[in-house]
Amino acid sequence: MTATATAPRPLAPWVLVAPVQLMVGLIIFIPALYVLWLSFQSSSFGQQAVFVGLANYAQVLGDAYFWHALRNTIVVVLVVVHAELLAGLGLALFVAAGVPWRPVVLAIILAPYAVSEVSAVVMWRFLFDPDVGLATRVLQALHLPILEWSVVPADGLALVCLLSVWLNLPFTFVILYAGRLAIPTQLYEAAEIDGARPWQQFRRVTLPLLTPAMLIAMLFRYIFAFRLFSEVWLLTQGGPARSTEVLAVYLYLEAFRYNAFGVAAATGWLLVLVSLVLALWYLRRLYRDMARHA
Amino acid sequence: MRRRRPLARAARALGLAAIALWSLLPIAMMALSSFKADRDIFAVPQRLAFTPTLANYVGLAARWGDFFRGLLNSAIVTAGATLLAVAVSTLAGYAYSRYRGRALTFSAFFLIFIRLLPPIVITLPLFPVVNQLRLNDTHLVLILLYATFFVSLGTIVMRTFIDQIPRELDEAASVDGAGVLQIVGRVILPLCGPGMIAVAVFVIVYAWNEFLFAFIFTTTRAKTAPLVVSEMIGAVEGVEWGVLFAASTLQLLPILIFVVLAQKHLMAGLTAGAVKD
């Protein structure tokens, strides 16, 4: 069809994609397969691996700490992703409706994107310090309960959620904001002429046309939120008494503290499976799209 | 639509104030407190008026020389990962933009699929391998890991940008006898700057701030700045808040300025990487 399709050297594209494919294959894909193999073995550092079938999976699924970590992960993911989606939607519509000094407003909204998990933990720990934290003082002044995040597990997870939303809201916002700007203005003008009230415009124009962007933002955030590690590790290390562990922290402890590589590998593959199930819809749609254009 | 103007304006001002408070207050508290003496940091209630001091920064330099080595390590690792990721993503992005084929499509799908594998999972097998190759605690291992985790997104973003460069330019160069690499170098490279910057922004922010891989694969020589800050949080002799604020502020400042300056590219990259695929 095009000149490139009949290019004299069909090897050229493979030479060009080779570095990327090699990096991804050697550093991510093969190790991931190796983890699968490892999950059927009993192994630890410097020991001969022994095939044990599904024993590691049985051990993981029989471990109360695993179920506790899974429950924590699901709660945090659900809270964080949906809070981000709602806040991101509100922000996107607010900014798209017209604000003064738009570049400045955008820079302010994007600022947390630049902050490392480590620095974010420093900031939020200080804000919610039970003795001198500004947020603690405000809560007390309003006669609200304060967050005892280092003692009460639910409070610890609440702070993790707050921290995660703060760090990741810029991403969700950008996706939704770009989606909102892509909606043609004429649609709103037509709705206005038809006498649609703002709420009706939102229900009939904005929401349906923004749904694809919302699904994409949600999907990416589900997948990435499931990996949550640093925030929890730096804030509570999963404590007190392993009560605030999430799956990635559970995996890390099994592997690097208890040297149970087989169990950690099984946990790892459960993590992968959850990610794949979450993304199945997206992958199927994407594959059809790409196959059609091939 | 604009009948309730004063009310709408007040609501908008309130909204803007809430946004600024949410986004900036945590950052501002940390940065301001880094210039406070201990008694002002722990003052109840917090006051905006205080005598600024550089004591925390002096203390940081005196007791945590590790931190400045960490900043240098972070800079080296970030530069290396960015150069590597941008270079290989550009090559692959060009191939996926200009060539078609069943196997090639499948390999593009593979790149996207890879993004679903959680990084912590692959640390399990990599840890012993990296030790065996004596690559633990080196810049190289972090450069490779950081670049690899962004080449699939980088390739997608580059393809989106290169798609917008007319094929006629390639074809003209091809007629003049240029090979594929020459076409990429002389025709595409000068025109896909915005895409390369968008990819670079992602990698720079990620590599500068990353914690998990640095935590697992470095111990002393190649320790990055976030890792040193995390050690300060967990220091056995109790947290020295002032010094910790100073370190966190220094770690954040360059990347914050960078993100503000690169705002447009960041937004373009985020949209190209997520929505169109």
Give per-residue pLDDT as tens, B157-180.
Answer: 999 999 999 999 998 998 888 888
Domain membership flag for residue A164:
yes
Domain that holds residue B246: 59-274
Work out the pLDDT band at B4, boundaries 50, 70, 90: low
Give CA angle at B203 (B200, B206), nearest 5°.
145
* Residue B2 in domain: no
Q: How many domains does chain A have?
A: 1
Q: Between A21 and B186, whose confidence is greater?
A: A21
**Residue A243 belongs to a domain:** yes
Give the model confidence (pLDDT) of A34-68 as tens digits: 999 989 988 766 667 788 889 999 999 999 999 99
Residue A59, token pair as written in the block: 């051990």
Share of chain B above pLDDT 70, in %: 96
In a domain, A30, yes or no: no
CATH number (domain holding residue B161): 1.10.3720.10
Do the domain assignments include residue A121?
yes
User: Does residue B129 fall inside a structural domain?
Assistant: yes
Q: A219 vs chain B: nearest CA distance in angstroms?
A: 10
DSSP A101: T
The verdict on residue B244 lying in a domain is yes
Quick check: is B33 in a domain?
A: no
Residues A164, A76 contacting (CB under 8 angstroms):
yes
| B205–A113 C-beta distance less than 8 A | yes
Specify if A10 maps to a domain. Answer: no
* CATH for A143: 1.10.3720.10
CB pairs under 8 A between A and B: 293
Interval B190-195 mean pLDDT? 92
- pLDDT of A31: 94
Say what the pTM is. 0.92
Residue A9 lies inside a defined structural domain of this protein = no
Give the residue carrying structure tokens 């949600």: A218
B23 domain residue, yes or no? no
| Of B203 and A6, more confident | B203
Q: A96-128: per-residue pLDDT in tens? A: 998 999 999 999 999 999 999 999 999 999 999
Full residue range of the structural domain in which residue A75 is found: 46-293
Instruction: Read off the pLDDT band of B49 (50, 70, 90).
Output: confident
A23 falls within a domain: no
Residue A9 has pLDDT above 80, yes or no: no
Q: How many CB atoms lie within 10 A of CB A97?
A: 12
Q: Looking at the predicted structure, is the pLDDT value of residue A7 above 60?
A: no
For chain A, what percent of residues have pLDDT higher than 90?
Answer: 70
In a domain, B173, yes or no: yes
Cα of first residue to Cα of last residue in chain B, in angstroms, is 37
Instruction: Output the pLDDT for position B274.
Output: 67
Of B24, B108, B125, the CB nearest to A38: B125
Rounded Cα distance between A45 and A104, Å, is 52
Q: Structural domain tally of chain B?
A: 1
Amino acid at A52: V
pLDDT at A6 over 50: no
Q: Does B185 touch chain A (CB under 8 A)?
A: no
Q: What is the DSSP letter of A61?
A: H
Contact predicate A169/A112, CB 8 Å: yes
d(CA B85, CA B144): 9
Residue A71 to chain B, least CA–CA distance (Å): 18
Q: Which two tokens stand for residue A235?
A: 């804030």
On chain A, the residues whose CB falls within 8 A of the CB of B126 are 27, 31
A111 domain-assigned: yes
Mean pLDDT score across all residues of chain A: 90
In a domain, B113, yes or no: yes
- For residue A81, what pLDDT band results from cuts at 50, 70 and 90? very high
- Interatomic CA distance for residues A84 and A78, integer angstroms: 10
